[in-house]
Structure formats: C-alpha cells, structure tokens
C-alpha cells in the first residue's frame, strides 16, 4: 500500500533488521536475468549501487555486470528503463496495441504493483488485454500491492462492461485464477457483490489516476464507460457520483 516497496516500508518503521534481511535476500537471489525486476518495478536505483555481497564486497550492480551473457547495462539505466515503462503503461491505458507490442520487453510493475494488464482492465481497453493474454499470460497471475489480480479488477467493473473482460481472462486455466484471493481473502467473484462500495470505487479510481510512482494526477487514459470522474468520498453517497 501507499506505493512503498517492502524495503521502504521497513525503513519508514525504523526496522533496520528487516532492511538488512531484505538486502541479504536480494543479493543472494539476484541473478542477471532477474535484474529487470528491480528497475522495472520502480525500485530505487541507489539500492543497486549500495547493496553489497558480504562475502565479496561487490555491489549488486557489479555482480550483474560480471555476466556477459546478459545486457545488464541496459537494465542498470533506471531512468531509461522507467521512462520506457511509463510509455508502455500509457499505451496500455490508451488502448494503443501497436505501441504495447513494440515496447513490451519485461513484465513491469509500478510502485502501486500495477501491471500493464491491470491498467488496461481498469481503463476497459479490451484489445490490449486480449493481446497481453496471448503474449504475456503470466500477467494474469501478477497482483497489485494489495494482492488484487486483473480478474479482481474485471469483476469490479460495471457488469455491463466487465463481463467480456471476465470471459477473456478465464479462457485459459480458469480455476486457478478464480481461486486467487486479495489481501483480505476475497476471491475475484466476491468483488461483483461489492463493486458499488466506496472501497472498490476507490480501487478503480486509484488504478486510473495514480501515476507509476504512486502520485495522484490526471488519468493515464480516457475515462471508461460507467466510470466516475470524481474521487470517491466516504461523505458522498455513491449514487451521487458523476458517472460518465
């Protein structure tokens, strides 16, 4: 939540022991092929240069550069990688399949935990979701920071618009997807029962208006059919929201 990485959350709570444990896990488990996960998940570039292997004294970046079978230098350029991810996520939100096809080179997750598929579902971009289901089916099994999967978002949409996304996501391996639960133990289908609640309306509003760094701003794409352009307010009955 709050667009914090696990390490940032531990630092905010002054849990140095957990920070050290995370650093140790990263340096032990990181192999060059996993490096895109660090830059592509909008982690801090300084972590790559400050986390060190206790045995060799080498930083994460130095270890990655040792393996000449992998283009580590590309993924160590955090600025370029994250700008590339921004273009991808914007294209997914706008429904531009051509740009998504040209720019998709890693399973990016932003600081909210959103993937291109979650953004595309939230903006009701059917052709983008269809393309990603075919070319990047693993995205169906990657959740956001609250452990909500693309199928949760599909069930959260108004029934009239969400039905085709649900059918699309469940074309392959439906049972495994239907059994996935969010952080509160709720299945995707449970969201159909609470889609009009403040919580779910806020979830959709966040997926449309939080940028890739977790900051509020204009929507990444056009407001979809049935979506409110106003932020959900606990003091405002849902019936009175501006539904466009």
Which of 218-221's residues contact partners 24+ apart within 8 Å by CB, and which partners? 219/93, 219/123, 220/89, 220/90, 220/93, 220/94, 220/119, 220/123, 221/90, 221/92, 221/93, 221/94, 221/95, 221/119, 221/123, 221/125
- Share above pLDDT 70 across residues of the chain, in percent, rounded to a whole number: 74
Average pLDDT over residues 3-26: 80
pLDDT band of residue 76 (cuts 50, 70, 90) is low
Checking if the pLDDT of 239 tops 70, the result is no
Specify the range with the lowest mean pLDDT, choosing from 4-18, 52-66, 107-121, 132-146: 52-66
pLDDT tens track for 160-219: 999 999 999 999 989 999 999 999 999 999 999 999 999 999 999 999 999 988 999 999
pLDDT tens track for 126-162: 999 999 999 999 999 999 999 999 999 999 999 999 9
Contact at 8 Å (CB) between 181 and 191? no
pLDDT tens track for 197-206: 999 999 999 9
Specify the range with the lowest mean pLDDT, choosing from 4-8, 73-77, 120-124, 188-192: 73-77
Checking if the pLDDT of 107 tops 60, the result is yes
Contact at 8 Å (CB) between 153 and 124? no
Distance CA 66, CA 14 (A): 33
- What's the chain's average pLDDT? 83
Termini Cα distance of the chain: 28
Looking at residue 242, its pLDDT comes to 38
Distance CA 180, CA 143 (A): 9
Name the residue among 120, 122, 121, 118 with its Cα closest to residue 96.
Answer: 120
Contact at 8 Å (CB) between 170 and 210? no
Which is more confidently placed, 177 or 79?
177
Domains and CATH numbers, the chain: 6-76 (no CATH), 78-240 (1.25.40.20)
Average pLDDT over residues 220-224: 95
22-55 b/e (C-beta count within 10 Å ≥ 16 → b) = bbeebbeebebeebbbbbbbbbebebbeebebee
Q: Is the pTM of this model over 0.75?
A: yes
pLDDT tens track for 29-45: 665 555 565 555 555 55
Looking at residue 41, its pLDDT comes to 59
Looking at residue 73, its pLDDT comes to 64
pLDDT band of residue 229 (cuts 50, 70, 90) is confident
């Amino acid at each position: 939540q709050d667009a914090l990485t696990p390490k940032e959350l531990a630092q905010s709570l002054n849990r140095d022991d957990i920070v050290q444990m995370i650093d140790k896990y990263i340096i032990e488990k990181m192999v060059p092929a996993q490096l895109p996960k660090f830059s592509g998940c909008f982690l801090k570039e300084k972590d790559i240069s400050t986390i060190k292997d206790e045995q060799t004294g080498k930083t994460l970046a130095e270890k990655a550069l040792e393996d000449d079978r992998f283009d580590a230098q590309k993924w160590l350029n955090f600025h370029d990688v994250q700008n590339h991810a921004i273009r991808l996520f914007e294209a997914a939100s706008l429904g531009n399949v051509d740009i998504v096809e040209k720019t998709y080179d890693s399973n990016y997750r932003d600081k909210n935990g959103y993937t291109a598929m979650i953004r595309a579902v939230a903006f009701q971009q059917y052709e983008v979701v269809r393309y990603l289901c075919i070319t990047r089916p693993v995205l169906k099994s990657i959740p956001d920071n609250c452990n909500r999967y693309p199928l949760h978002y599909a069930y959260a949409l108004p029934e009239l618009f969400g039905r085709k996304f649900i059918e699309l996501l469940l074309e392959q391996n439906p049972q495994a997807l239907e059994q996935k639960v969010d952080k509160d133990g709720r299945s995707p289908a449970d969201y159909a029962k609470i889609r009009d609640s403040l919580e779910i309306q806020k979830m959709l509003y966040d997926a449309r208006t939080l940028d890739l760094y977790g900051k509020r701003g204009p929507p990444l794409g056009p407001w979809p059919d049935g979506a409110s352009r106003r932020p959900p307010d606990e003091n405002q009955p849902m019936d009175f929201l501006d539904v466009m």
